[in-house]
């Protein structure tokens, strides 16, 4: 089973180095926020509400990976497509995100992570 969510993110000055190019680790923050938006859409509650109402301590990551394809600059709008796939076992849950330019359909970055669901 898989769920997908798409969101648009504007690259802000604080996301960039002095040359105006995104500081690549910021993509991990963007992908994390996109995964939270995906869970919010799928479950109907925000991450904050999950912390308040469920025995939830976050999304533990077992492995992360990113590929930076083309520089993203201050002021660029990127569309982030996030998908989460649930495997047959609890340890096979994974999330993948792809950031592409909103004005040109070229991929800028992609990332994936293996999520370790908390023990029941």
Structural domain including 75 reads 2-115
* Predicted pLDDT at 14: 95
Report the predicted TM-score, pTM, of the whole model to 2 decimal places.
Answer: 0.78
Token pair for 61: 């990551």
Q: Decide if 106 contacts 116 (C-beta within 8 A).
A: no
3-class SS at 12? coil
Whether 120 is covered by a domain: the verdict is no
Q: How far apart are alpha carbons 107 and 12 in whole angstroms?
A: 19
pLDDT reported for residue 105? 67
Structural domains in the chain (count): 1
pLDDT in tens, the chain (120 residues): 678 888 899 999 999 999 999 998 888 888 888 888 888 888 898 888 888 888 877 777 777 888 888 888 899 988 888 888 776 655 455 566 777 777 766 777 877 777 665 555
We report the CATH number of the domain holding residue 41 as 3.10.129.10
């Amino acid at each position: 089973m898989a769920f997908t969510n798409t969101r648009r993110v504007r690259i802000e000055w604080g996301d960039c180095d002095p040359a105006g190019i995104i500081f690549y680790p910021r993509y991990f923050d963007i992908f994390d926020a996109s995964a939270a938006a995906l869970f919010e859409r799928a479950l109907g509650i925000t991450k904050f509400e999950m912390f308040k109402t469920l025995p939830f301590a976050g999304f533990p990551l077992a492995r992360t990976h990113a590929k930076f394809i083309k520089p993203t600059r201050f002021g660029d709008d990127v569309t982030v497509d996030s998908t989460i796939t649930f495997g047959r076992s609890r340890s096979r849950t994974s999330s993948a995100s792809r950031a592409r330019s909103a004005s040109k359909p070229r991929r800028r970055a992609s990332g994936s992570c293996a999520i370790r669901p908390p023990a029941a």
